[in-house]
Structure 1
Amino acid sequence: MNIQALAQQIPVEGEYSLEGVDFITSGDQYLTFMLDTEQYAVDILCVEEIRSWEKPTRIPNAPDYVKGVINMRGVIVPIIDLRAKFGIGVADYNETTVVIVLRYESPTHSRTIGFVVDAVSDVLNAEEDEVRESPAFGGVIPHHFVNGLVNVGEGVVTLLNLEALQEIEPHTAGLG
């Protein structure tokens, strides 16, 4: 699925629900996805494409969470398994597994990177005052990867920090 197909599923004015999530007509939009039983989200403006899982070309000596690279219309895109990066069990790549391709722009560079997730959920709109700061209590995901938390119904969606996620730590095995 690409971002244009996803955008066609966003309700037009007068429609107020998106698969059980109330649709708010203002605020920031996030693409939500699943890792294990938890929901996470990234800024939808950074999403370039949602692709079905395909085995990438492995990169020798890359960290375990870097699954390899794919060629996306002439652009070499590194593929990061978020379950492996966050230490959330072993991923079972199946028909719902997708790669969310994101483009991160900073003042000094831009990077296109793909993140393997269990499944894409919804588009979430959140007002700035609905985003809560993440408590630093030593959870599964390191604090610098989290931008905030949003209550959605009975659950909580973790908003991820793309600036931190796009950094690939240097591989140190065998150095010393």
Structure 2
Amino acid sequence: MSVVGKTAGTTPSGAREYLTFRLDQEEYGIDILKVQEIRGYEAPTRIANAPDFIKGVVNLRGTIVPIVDMRLKFNCSHVEYNSFTVVIILNLRHRVVGIVVDSVSDVMELAPDSIRAAPDIDSVIDNGCILGLGSVGERMLILLDIEKLMSSVDMGLVSMGD
């Protein structure tokens, strides 16, 4: 499922669109403009000495793409590869990276007033990588700054530069 050509980003009301996905019991959102495409999971080629959460690389139309399993990165208790497991291909500052998630939910539009600051708690996610908590009805989304998260030193990915 490709999202290229999708009208995304900021709407006239100042709302932003987020692609939502699940990891274990939590639901996350990332800026739709960072998403290049969504693909079914296929086992990547393993890279020696890479951290466990970097599953390896895949060749995507001539581009070598590192694949990060977000479930392992975020210490999810249960990591299972099934028909719902997908790879979200991200285009971050001229670098293409894939992230493995349990499933993709949908694209949600969030107005600025439906986003709250994240509480300052100790978690596996650096607080600087959390944009806030979005709420839509009963749903609570953890909004990630996926670019900052993917370029953090502990990811083991080469600096993305500008």
Shorter-chain TM-score tier: 0.7 to 0.9
1:169 partner SS: helix
Alignment partner of 1:83 is 2:71: yes
Identity %: 46
- Report the Cα offset of residue 87 of structure 1: 0.9
> Does the 8 Å contact 1:40/1:159 carry over to 2?
yes
Q: Which residue of 2 aligns with 1:19?
A: none
| Aligned counterpart in structure 1 of residue 129 of structure 2, from 138, 145, 161 | 145
Give per-residue Cα distances to partners, 1:122-162, cap 9 Å, x unaligned. Answer: 11101123221111122353312211111121121011112
Partner in structure 2 of residue 47 of structure 1: 35
- Measure how far apart 1:61 and its partner are: 0.2
CA distance in 2, matches of 1:50, 1:25: 27
**Alignment partner, residue 158 of structure 1:** 142
CA contact (8 A) 1:88 1:140 kept: no
Offset of residue 118 of structure 1? 0.3
Residue segments in structure 2 that go unaligned for 5+ positions in a row: 157-162
Alpha-carbon shift at residue 164 of structure 1 (Å): 2.2
The C-alpha deviation readout for 1:2-33, integer Å capped at 9, x for no partner, is: 2259x59x9xxxxxxxxxxxxx9741100000
Instruction: Give 3-state SS (helix, strand or coil) of 1:89's partner.
Output: coil
1:14 matched to which residue of 2? none
Whole-angstrom CA distance in 1 between matches of 2:47 and 2:63: 16
CA distance in 1, matches of 2:56, 2:75: 18
Residue equivalent to 1:120: 104
CA–CA distance in 2 between the matches of 1:80 and 1:154?
29
Count of aligned positions = 152
TM-score by length of 2: 0.85
Which amino acid letter does the alignment assign opposite residue 95 of structure 2? Answer: R
Match of 1:169 among 132, 137, 154: 154
Say what the alpha-carbon RMSD is for the aligned residues. Answer: 2.2
- Give 2:3's aligned residue: 3
Distance of 2:20 and 2:44 partners within structure 1: 23
Q: Which is further off, 94-103 or 143-152?
A: 143-152
Q: TM-score, normalization: structure 1? A: 0.79
The answer to whether structure 1 residue 65 and structure 2 residue 50 are counterparts is no
Q: Structure 1 stretches (4+) deviating beyond 6 angstroms? A: none
